[in-house]
Structure 1
Amino acid sequence: MAHPPSLNSFTKAIKENCHISDAGGASIFSICGMALRLRDLNKWEQGLYPWQEAVPSDLLEWIDNREQIWESVGDNDYSPLPLNGRHYDPFDTRAINRILHPQGLFYGAGYAHSLKPCFFLARILETRDIQGIPVLILGQEMVRDLLTLPALNQDDAVIFRKDAAALFLWDQMAYLKKSGQRFLRMALRRCGLPDPGTESRIDGFESILSIFQQTCIHHEIGEICDTVFDRSRFRQIVAGFPHSTVELLARTVKDLLADTGPNGTLAHIIETKNAAALGFYAAFQDGLFRPLFPQLRPAVEKFVSDDDWDGIENTRGIGFDTARRYVEELLSMLESGDGGETPEQTIDRVNTRLVVPLNNGESPITG
């Protein structure tokens, strides 16, 4: 992929940082999770559509080469980024983007799940303003790491990565669990697609992606507008308990707040009466999110027969109250253990009190 001559050394440094991050972060994924991420990264590098698959032998050779690269850079420090005669810290996104934006480019950097650093460089397709928040829609990605993140918020702006979102969305549909299939079928019907088959999804993919784009954008807006879970406290929790059930619970509750808050995902779906978006939203919920918000899918099933948006609004409120209570309980538990126990003891206490009951279908916190 050709880059402007002045950016060659810049993009090369980002790519090296992506390799370093991927080498250090590979261990956080399961074997299946790692295989899926490698496959998507290969699709991006080869310019394949989300529904296209690489020749198996070519993919295996590519993976072998990638692992050799990781072995060669795994102990390296992250490189500063050369730009306009200066070198920038790779996480100094504000300063870097002040230079890149006039060129129609956006640089992303931050920490994802388990504190894995994430880096990418993409072309800006368009900019919007929603509820006073800048929203950037990104197109062609010139550099990226292993993580296929469809959207994020950075420096008080919402970023939608269209290339990554397309891969993510296709995987969500392709590997959806049986329990979510009926909601996916509902969503596809509301999109006007004749059947839920692969060819129908391919034909209607741009429409599906457009709906998913709005869902992702308003999730990020919900996060930015949330006043329940203090951002600095959330970052402290993630930094203090990386790759643990404490981090998982904190992230899931934070997502639920964003989705059910007055400025978030479900509020926008309800306001626009977008039944297809509601179906996709219900279909794609998994992990701790489902036992935290068990009212969602029954409410959507009822909606299929009565189109009652008031019922969905009531359910949104229940989800928001649940998320708020879990934030309060989690923060209380963490504060009570400050200074008096090891991180492992805190993780075990939170896991026993909050996470295990959820996984067993119980609700340890009542209103």
Structure 2
Amino acid sequence: MQASELRELSLRVQRNCDIADARHAGNDTLCIYLLKMREFYRWMRRLPYSAPLDREEVGDWVIRQERLWEDLEDKDLEPLTLGKTRFDPFDHESVNRRLDPHGLVYGAGYGRGARPLFFLGSVVSREEFDGYRIYVVGEEQARDLVAPPAMSRGEVIFVRTESVRRMLHEMIEAWQFRGSPPGDAMARALAAYGCVSDNDAGFDAMVDSEVESAVWHEVGEVLAGRLLGAAWQERTLEVAGTRGERVMRAVRDHLADSLTTLPALLDSDHDGALHFYFANLTGMRAVLAPRLRKAYEAWTGTGSRHALKRLVAPSREHWLSVARLLLETPPESWPISDEALPALRLSGP
């Protein structure tokens, strides 16, 4: 394959990313949108997180990007081409069979609200394990405004190192801005890694560890997918953009974590990754799992992981039961209002 063909592929992937952004970039609140645009600008310019930004220059770039999106808003996603072969933009398997010898990997799927997601990046590692394939992705040549740290599609897992690094930086930055208490989960995670900024060895160690944790979570996602079947994805698309989707994603995340992530973290001797797991236990996931937080507090108070380890098996049974309830019950009958939500929670002593 010629270098010119790979450059053309990168341009086509980025165009589909731009088309997806044109349709969905405005779905966030203004504050979240501007934060994403700032991060996207850094990526486009290959700037480190510590680099100061020129406000006027960023503002001019945002205007140009929004004009591009306006021109693309009504366009359809385009097929990808390699040589004389055309590929559906979601056919990542066929594209990757052609890219594997070149150290590149292509990812395609759907995110929250049925938003298309695409990227093209370099392969850091590729592993075949128990019927599924795991790609750890390094530098990316094309991506969307939204760049989740990890995603799975069928039996294929993608973990994106650049996005893991960005996520950690943003979480630490937000934690510092809030002036959070020195003894919370994030403070404990940073202390365990000896991490004080995004430029030191502690931060790099944290990135490496969270890449591994992301792999375990996505393995759990694959296993959860095997348990739940294709009907789960169909139901998720049915409730896309609603509170029901947030509940479904939180339930599946918890099921995946009870299958692989938590057992792996609890078997590890390194406390940092486990502390970070709870620092990142927020939003609907936190609302649905108060018992998990209580077990974490027992560990930090006593030094014993017994309560957490004892909770893994009941968690697995609970979240699988809740997931099946969501599949078997019409969405309009789900107990997901603020008043009814406790019916789905992992609670108890």
Is the pair's TM-score, using the shorter chain for normalization, greater than 0.5? yes
Q: Distance in 2 between matches of 1:225 and 1:179?
A: 36
1:153 to partner: Cα distance: 1.6
2:174 matches 1:172? no
Letter in 2 for 1:253: V
- In the alignment, which residue of structure 2 is the partner of 1:281? 277
- In the alignment, which residue of structure 1 is the partner of 2:321? 325
- In the alignment, which residue of structure 2 is the partner of 1:22? 21
Pick from 189, 192, 195: which aligns with 2:191?
A: 189
The DSSP-based 3-state class of the residue aligned with 1:216 is: helix
Letter in 1 for 2:186: L
Alpha carbons of 1:198 and 1:191: their partners in 2 closer, same or farther (altered >3 Å)? closer
The DSSP-based 3-state class of the residue aligned with 1:60 is: helix
1:192 to partner: Cα distance: 3.4
Contact 2:254 2:319 in 1 (8 A): yes
- In the alignment, which residue of structure 2 is the partner of 1:339? none
* Alignment map for 1:238-257 (pairs within 5 Å): 238-257=236-255
In structure 1, list runs of 5 or more residues that go unmatched: 335-345
Alpha carbons of 1:180 and 1:13: their partners in 2 closer, same or farther (altered >3 Å)? farther
The DSSP-based 3-state class of the residue aligned with 2:336 is: helix
Letter in 2 for 1:119: F
Letter in 1 for 2:215: I
- In the alignment, which residue of structure 1 is the partner of 2:215? 217
- In the alignment, which residue of structure 1 is the partner of 2:65? 66
* Alignment map for 1:9-88 (pairs within 5 Å): 9-88=8-87
- In the alignment, which residue of structure 1 is the partner of 2:151? 152
Alpha carbons of 1:191 and 1:53: their partners in 2 closer, same or farther (altered >3 Å)? same
Q: Distance in 2 between matches of 1:243 and 1:180?
A: 36
Letter in 1 for 2:222: I
Taking only the aligned residue pairs, the percentage that are identical comes to: 24
Letter in 2 for 1:62: W
Q: Distance in 2 between matches of 1:145 and 1:356?
A: 33
| TM-score, normalised via structure 1 length | 0.86
What per-residue deviation string (whole Å, max 9, x for no partner) do you get for residues 213-262 of structure 1? 1111100001112267513111111221210111111111000100112x
Letter in 2 for 1:211: S
Contact 2:110 2:116 in 1 (8 A): yes
1:123 to partner: Cα distance: 0.6
Q: Distance in 1 between matches of 2:226 and 2:105?
A: 30
Letter in 2 for 1:313: K
The DSSP-based 3-state class of the residue aligned with 1:82 is: strand
Aligned positions, number: 343
Alpha carbons of 1:51 and 1:363: their partners in 2 closer, same or farther (altered >3 Å)? farther
What per-residue deviation string (whole Å, max 9, x for no partner) do you get for residues 38-57 of structure 1? 11111111112234442221
1:358 to partner: Cα distance: 6.5
Contact 1:180 1:284 in 2 (8 A): no
- In the alignment, which residue of structure 2 is the partner of 1:111? 110
Q: Distance in 1 between matches of 2:183 and 2:131?
A: 36
Pick from 338, 341, 349: which aligns with 1:356?
A: 338
Alpha carbons of 1:129 and 1:307: their partners in 2 closer, same or farther (altered >3 Å)? farther
